[in-house]
A and B are shown apart, each in its own frame.
Chain A
């Protein structure tokens, strides 16, 4: 059966690069406001009832949102096995920190309300904060490191050795990216709280959202400046590339040079729409948070996330994981994917199930929609967290 040859191998690789983007953006948009809300929890709400309001704006839906993270792992494994292998073993301790933090989240949501003891509840509040803030920071730091190149080597067996350390992950630029990620998600979470809560919490959320959007604008601009001026060097393939090649990352030549991450924008000016959308989203959120509007702000906040993540993706294309110490072993769209057959099969499965997921997720949100405040918590006391 050669059904899979209906679509070109190179086209499939391209589609899966776009799908990877969809997954990352889906994760940042859906799990992003949960993380933003969690990171704000101890600061935006003081009393227990306030904290319950904040938690219950995401209480019934965080679980589905978190699946975007798990699906991200699974999809990378299926479509880009070397990326899955190299990034998670390379960032080993950072991954552990992320997992340990994220493990706290499900438990904190569920167990916090099981006992009235203030110390118990406070402990889980901080667990929720950790489980939200730490991954938000580390994901950004990881993106920064990917832009800089990751210190790994591949031998001819395609066995990877990593030549960095946990603390080596934290450079000026990667920390900037980490803070960018935190700002973006805190902004997103604030906008969520503006929509889903009222009164004092919504007011505070407008302030935190404004500050976060402001930071986001500065950091996004600064990051762009560092890349554009060549302070952060990019990677460029210098050998012939056959987009239909069998996936072996060792069959190319690569150079590292300042400004290489800007080449795609020069070649295809339409790509400037990505950073433009990022800024429009950030500025739009910042401005609209000062009005009485609610729902439209969320569209801008989502647009900001879409624009920012797309900017990183298109500036690096076709690279997905550059190696700083053996540049020719960098992973690219063309040489790090699964086989033609697997990419096709997985595309069929995704094309069937992703729309179904979006439909039932939308329905669940519709059922559960509405402002959460102290009254609704009192009313639903027995079911609310």
Chain B
């Protein structure tokens, strides 16, 4: 198999992003859970809650640093591997990244030190404030990166300037309040909350099965199931919102998720299972549920959802329009000052399709002279592989519904005070909780895949093809760094998981024989962390 720089750069970005996203969701969710548990501690003064914060905080810390470490790469690799993209969109895309640093990273990174080192140096309320600062900073960073990502999916508030050869901000407000970004933000942080809740639930279940740390496990389970249940409902509702937004501006993504080749009369049916065949542009088979798709995507009974083939036909029109813009752009560039107003006007009229002309560049040097076959090929290149889209989406959604079920069941047992009954009578439920620990990660990675692979062939939806955004690097260079990142990240991941398991096995601090009454001493000095570091 032959790889070019574009494939390898995409592979490297996917690899580093997917690794980064192994650690981030847990950080997002656990930081909030820690802040909630510590709030309970400060309000009630019960030592048990502090022990919970310290124990889950230890696991949080082991995970957090890898999020930080892998995040370094994310900040710089746009410039490293996607230099043309960076130059083309930096005026719009750079701002949320810089604001993320100013508003979010400093907050979380500065106060995380106090979270771990400040127990004996701060009053309880001060320490609680530090913990909340970490949680808020972490969640704000998700907001800003998703504003950046949301703009890649739905590039609002910006225009292309032929004199500077880049997209420039026309409305900062529109970029910030991009509806796609808002839906993505809540969907993504909710996914983080579920990840943390299922993590806490699973580990607590393991302690219950072992009969260790039962009191702390039960409390943790109650917190995790309540929090997780709310988050699971939110993630599905906001996922639905994302689907609705996708139908407004990324119809191809929606059609490939659905493996919907032909446009159906409204309301469209939903394919539960299918085997999409890219060659023949049809499904080998499909099990359909009538009406559901139309309802989800359009929230109406009579709005038609276009199928893949119809969207490809529409792309052809935009490719031809884009070629006109492309030709006008060449004229403007060859003589920026002398070119006539009519040429600039022609460009401005067709500029929104300029990106489509770039899709022809693999086939011809001059998009204006493209043959019908070339336009056809370019138009079909706007369709991402349907099969992985179809199944990645379904795995994610199945996980989402499973999380609602799991958290609801545990929430029921916790709120009716029957968690002990689980330990005696329904051990299988606890086993399921333990074995469910990896599922949120699978769902998160699938979600990333659907969102980003589903955007292909665009790096900026309908504006700039991914292949155009790449840096001028050699295959060897990218192969080297790809191998380097894989080796480094994999090593660190193995170490991380081993440490996690070690500290889970050690478990929280052993409980005092009876949970002491509200602790009134100004500065709690109980033996703190699970294991003294030598």
> B105 within 8 Å of A by Cβ?
yes
For window 455-487 of B, CB contacts with A under 8 Å fall at 471-473, 477, 480-481, 484-485
A349 adjacent to B99 (CB under 8 Å): yes
Are A111 and B65 in contact (CB-based, < 8 A)? yes
Q: State in angstroms the CA–CA spacing of A111 and B499 once bound together.
A: 8
Contact of B517 with A by CB under 8 A: no
Q: B73 contacts which chain A residues (CB < 8 A)?
A: 99, 103
Q: Which of A95, A342, A353 contacts B95 (CB 8 A)?
A: A342
B87 touches A81 (CB 8 A): yes
With a cutoff of 8 Å between Cβ atoms, the chain B residues found around residue A350 in the complex are: 102
Q: From A59-67, A181-189, A202-210, A288-296, give the one contacting chain B.
A: A59-67
Interface of A, helix, strand, loop or mixed by DSSP: helix
- Encode contact with B along A338-368: 1 for CB under 8 Å, 0 otherwise: 1101100110011001100100110010011
- CB pair A59 B117 closer than 8 Å: yes
Of B242-250, B375-383, B525-533, the one touching chain A: B525-533
Closest to A161 in B: B472
The yes or no answer to B365 lying at the interface (CB within 8 A) is no
- Closest Cβ of chain B to A283, distance in Å, is 33
What CA separation (Å) do A381 and B530 show in the bound complex?
12
Instruction: Tell me the nearest residue of chain B to A84, going by C-beta.
Output: B79
Q: If the complex has contacts A63-B68, A113-B533, are A339 and B91 also in contact, measured as CB distance less than 8 A? A: yes
Within 8 A of A (CB), among B422-457: none
Name the CB-closest residue of B to A341.
B169
A383 at the interface (CB under 8 A from B): yes
Give chain B residues whose Cβ lies under 8 Å from the Cβ of A109: 65
B120 contacts across to A, CB distance below 8 A: 380, 383
Interface size on B, residues (CB 8 A): 82
**Given A341-B172, A367-B114, A382-B528: A71 touches B102 (CB 8 Å cut-off):** yes
Contacts of A88 in B (CB 8 A): 76-77, 79-80, 83, 86
- Give chain A residues whose Cβ lies under 8 Å from the Cβ of B241: none
Task: Determine if A246 and B164 form an interchain contact, defined as CB atoms under 8 angstroms apart.
Answer: yes
Scoring B76, B110, B116, B472 by chain A CB atoms within 10 A of each residue's CB, the highest score goes to B76
How many Å from the CB of A328 to the closest CB on chain B? Answer: 15
> A303 CB to closest chain B CB, in angstroms?
24
Residues of B within 8 A of A360 (CB): 107, 110-111, 133
Q: Name the residue of chain A whose CB is nearest to the CB of B114.
A: A364
* Contact in complex: B481, A81 (CB < 8 Å): no
Shortest Cβ distance from residue B221 to the other chain A in the assembled complex, whole angstroms: 26
- CB neighbours (8 Å) of B68 from chain A are 63, 66, 106
A86 and B83 in contact, given A367-B121, A368-B121 (Cβ under 8 angstroms): yes
Given contact pairs A64-B106, A81-B87, A339 touches B168 in the complex (Cβ within 8 A): yes
Instruction: Knowing A85-B84, A383-B119 are in contact, say whether A66-B114 is a contact too (CB < 8 A).
Output: no
Instruction: Indicate if A160 sits at the interface (CB-CB under 8 A).
Output: yes
- Give chain A residues whose Cβ lies under 8 Å from the Cβ of B533: 113-114, 116, 381-382, 384-385
Is B163 an interface residue when CB atoms closer than 8 A count as contact? yes
Residues of A within 8 A of B528 (CB): 382-383
Cross-chain contact B484 with A74 (CB below 8 angstroms): no
How far is B75's CA from A74's CA once the two chains are assembled, in angstroms?
7
Quick check: A85 and B69 within 8 Å, CB to CB?
no
Query: How far apart are the CA atoms of A350 and B75 in the complex, in Å?
Result: 18
Contact across chains for A81 and B95 when beta carbons are under 8 A apart: no
**Is B370 interfacial (CB-CB < 8 Å)?**
no
- The count of chain A contact residues (Cβ–Cβ below 8 Å) is 78
- Chain B positions within 8 Å of A96 at CB level: 80, 480-481, 484
From residue B173, how far is it (CB to closest CB) to chain A in Å? Answer: 9
- Per a CB cutoff under 8 Å, which of B87, B97, B163, B495 touches A74? B97
- Chain B residues with CB under 8 Å of A246's CB are 161, 163-164
Would you list which residues of chain A between 141 and 169 have a CB under 8 Å from chain B? Answer: 156-162
Quick check: is A237 within 8 A (CB to CB) of the other chain?
no
Write the chain A residue with the least CB distance to B58: A114
How distant is the Cα of A92 from the Cα of B86 in the complex, in angstroms?
A: 14
Q: Determine whether A77 belongs to the interface, using a CB cutoff of 8 Å to chain B.
A: yes
The proximity string for A residues 68-86 relative to B, scoring 1 for CB distances below 8 Å and 0 otherwise, is 0111011111111110111
**Inside 8 A of A89's CB, which chain B residues have their CB?**
79-81, 83, 471-473
A325 CB within 8 Å of chain B: no
| In the complex, A87 has a CB within 8 A of chain B | yes
Cβ-neighbour of A364 out of B62, B81, B111 (below 8 A): B111
Contact partners of B151 in chain A: CB under 8 A: none
- A353 CA / B95 CA spacing, docked (Å): 14
Closest-by-CB residue of A relative to B330 is: A156
Q: A102 an interface residue at 8 Å Cβ cutoff?
A: yes
Residue B388 CB within 8 A of the other chain: no
Q: Which of B62, B77, B105, B333 contacts A67 (CB 8 A)?
A: B105
Known A78-B97, A111-B65; further 18 A-B contacts with Cβ < 8 A = A63-B113, A64-B109, A71-B106, A79-B94, A85-B87, A92-B481, A95-B80, A99-B76, A106-B69, A110-B65, A114-B533, A160-B84, A160-B472, A162-B472, A248-B165, A342-B168, A345-B95, A360-B133
26 A-B residue pairings within 8 Å (CB atoms): A61-B110, A71-B105, A75-B101, A81-B86, A81-B166, A85-B86, A85-B471, A88-B79, A89-B80, A96-B480, A103-B70, A103-B492, A107-B66, A107-B495, A111-B495, A114-B62, A159-B472, A246-B163, A248-B164, A345-B95, A349-B98, A349-B99, A353-B103, A361-B110, A367-B122, A384-B117
Which positions in A face B, CB cutoff 8 Å?
A: 48, 59-64, 66-67, 69-71, 73-82, 84-89, 92-93, 95-96, 99-100, 102-107, 109-111, 113-114, 116, 156-162, 246-248, 338-339, 341-342, 345-346, 349-350, 353-354, 357, 360-361, 364, 367-368, 380-385
